[in-house]
Structure 1
Amino acid sequence: MTEATQQFFATLPARAPEVLRTPVAGTLRIDLSEGHRTEHWLVRMRPGAVEVDQGVEPGDATWYCGADLFERLVTGRAQAISAVLRNESTFRGDVVLFLAFRLFFPSAPGTRDPREVAREHARWTR
Structure 2
Amino acid sequence: MTATSAFFDRLAAACQDPRFSKVCGSVRFDIGDGDDLEQWLLVIDHGHMKVTRSAAPADTVIRVSVPVADAMARGEVNGLAAITRGEILVDGDLGLALRLGRLFPRASGSGDQTEQPTSSSTP
TM value normalised by structure 2:
0.79
Report if aligned partners of 2:2, 2:70 keep a CA contact under 8 Å in 1.
no
Letter in 2 for 1:57: A
Equivalences for 1:104-123 in 2 at 5 Å? 104-109=103-108
In terms of fraction of residues, the more helix-rich structure is 1
Structure 2 residue matching 1:16: 3-state secondary structure: coil
Q: Where does residue 81 of structure 1 map in the other structure?
A: 80
Q: Where does residue 45 of structure 1 map in the other structure?
A: 44
Letter in 1 for 2:70: E
Structure 1's unaligned 5+ residue stretches are 112-126
Structure 1 residue matching 2:62: 3-state secondary structure: strand
Equivalences for 1:53-68 in 2 at 5 Å? 53-68=52-67
Aligned equivalents of 1:97, 1:72: Cα separation in 2? 20
Residues 34-79 of structure 1, C-alpha deviations (whole Å, 9 max, x = no match): 3321111100012221100111111001000001100000111101
How many residue pairs match? The answer is 109
Structure 1 residue matching 2:16: 3-state secondary structure: helix
State yes or no: 1:35 paired with 2:61: no
Aligned equivalents of 2:82, 2:65: Cα separation in 1? 11
Report if aligned partners of 2:15, 2:50 keep a CA contact under 8 Å in 1.
no
Report if aligned partners of 1:24, 1:96 keep a CA contact under 8 Å in 2.
no
In terms of mean alpha carbon deviation, does 97-106 or 65-74 score higher?
Answer: 97-106
Instruction: Give the superposed CA RMSD.
Output: 1.9
Cα drift, residue 11 of structure 1:
1.1
TM value normalised by structure 1:
0.78
Cα drift, residue 99 of structure 1:
1.7
Identity value in percent: 28
Letter in 1 for 2:20: L
Letter in 1 for 2:62: W
Structure 2's unaligned 5+ residue stretches are 111-123
Aligned equivalents of 1:109, 1:94: Cα separation in 2? 27
Aligned equivalents of 1:40, 1:78: Cα separation in 2? 20
